[in-house]
Amino acid sequence: MWTAIPLFHGGGISFALSTLSGGATFVHPGFFDQSTTLELLTEERVTVALAAFETIWIPVLHRPDFHDFDLSRIRLVMAVGVPERLRHMANRLPNAVQVSCVAMTESSAFLTLNELTDSLDKRMTTGGRPMPGMTCRVVDPETGLDLPPLTPGELLFRGPNTFDGYFCDPELTARVFDDDGWFHSGDVVVADEEGRLTFVSRLKDMLKVGGENVAAAEVEGYLLGHDAIEILAVVAAPDAYYVEVPAAFVQLKPGAAASEEEIIDFCVGRIATYRVPRYVRFVRPGDWPMSGTKVKKVVLRERIAEELKDRGITAAPKIVSTPKG
């Protein structure tokens, strides 16, 4: 079993312990390096690849010499992402079963996980059912009332894998646990009729564009359909008229080229105007602000806000939407 998730991370610790429990070999690079990962997967005869984050897995799958390596021993891959990106990753290793999840440190890594018998569509579009003993609810964050299936709402959960609280922070712990022991995650999810969860966004990752709710993940999911884009993150940029507007930070695929105007034009007329990024900023590989294996969006929000302030920009350029085929 291979993972490159750092061992200070809840996922890395959980995978190490589960590997020991299962009597398997734990393969870890120590420090993730995409230029040596295919060699490691091959030499160590890895059968289960716990890639988890696209910031780890996509650079490996896109190596120019990817097809020079025999990865036929890999029978199972775990990765998360929007459906478009999950399908792309699964297509790169078509003989392996790829599963996804909903996970967080507060649930001791996996909260939900696909089953190997789930259909390809369910594995590409949902994070699976709750782990044994765990109970999940989807509620209206304003009223606290349970929502029907296929309705986005805040994720609440409780059960034996739930953490006890935040270290040395009893006030925060008291805010996130209610009197019945439900942990209020701050994540927006959707549950299907069979209880499978799909992550939508963080409550704090929802933009309010002129009064319209916009999930950053929805915009990211659409933009990943652009042939030149490899990795991206959408955050809120301040705006005097709309309060905030989408801004996209983009890493292009090796050898690809695209301008800010081209990427914005890719969206105009195809998605709702209030979802179209008004700013596009390009990031080189290795320059993302990272926390372990995740992009630190708070840093990106601060970066675009400071740039606009320094340039004296208070309102984003207007977009005129025209239908496109």
**Token pair 């304003």 is at which residue?**
142
Q: Which residues pair with 27 in a beta bridge?
A: 2
- In the predicted model, is pLDDT for residue 323 greater than 70? no
Where residue 324 falls among pLDDT bands split at 50, 70, 90? low
Least confident of 30-44, 75-89, 162-176, 199-213: 199-213
Q: Which residues pair with 281 in a beta bridge?
A: 249
Q: How is residue 255 annotated by DSSP?
A: T
Domain positions in the chain? 10-99, 131-201, 210-310
- Domain 210-310 sits in CATH 3.10.250.10: no
In this prediction, residues 160-185 reach a mean pLDDT of 95
Contact predicate 77/89, CB 8 Å: yes
**What mean pLDDT is reported for the chain?**
93
Provide the pLDDT for residue 200: 87
CA angle 212/187/124 to nearest 5° reads 95
Contact predicate 42/69, CB 8 Å: yes
In this prediction, residues 278-289 reach a mean pLDDT of 94
Where residue 295 falls among pLDDT bands split at 50, 70, 90? confident
DSSP string, 122-171: HHHH---EEPTT-EEEEE-TTT--B--TT--EEEEEESTTS----TT-HH
Provide the pLDDT for residue 186: 92
In this prediction, residues 285-307 reach a mean pLDDT of 88
What percent of the chain is modeled with pLDDT above 90?
A: 78
Instruction: Identify residue 238 by its one-letter amino acid code.
Output: P
CATH topology for 10-99 is: Rossmann fold (3.40.50)
- In the predicted model, is pLDDT for residue 322 greater than 70? no
- In the predicted model, is pLDDT for residue 325 greater than 60? no
How many other C-beta atoms can be found within 10 angstroms of the C-beta atom of residue 26?
15
Q: What is the pLDDT of residues 118-161, one digit of tens each?
A: 999 999 999 999 999 999 999 999 899 999 999 999 999 999 99
Q: What is the pLDDT of residues 175-185, one digit of tens each?
A: 999 999 999 99
User: How far is the C-alpha of 131 from the C-alpha of 128, rounded, in Å?
Assistant: 9
Where residue 293 falls among pLDDT bands split at 50, 70, 90? low
CATH topology for 131-201 is: Luciferase; domain 3 (2.30.38)
Where residue 291 falls among pLDDT bands split at 50, 70, 90? confident
Q: What is the pLDDT of residues 190-230, one digit of tens each?
A: 999 999 999 988 887 788 898 787 888 889 989 999 999 99
Provide the pLDDT for residue 292: 63
Q: What is the pLDDT of residues 86-114, one digit of tens each?
A: 999 999 999 999 999 999 989 999 999 99
Provide the pLDDT for residue 204: 76
Coil, strand or helix at 119:
coil
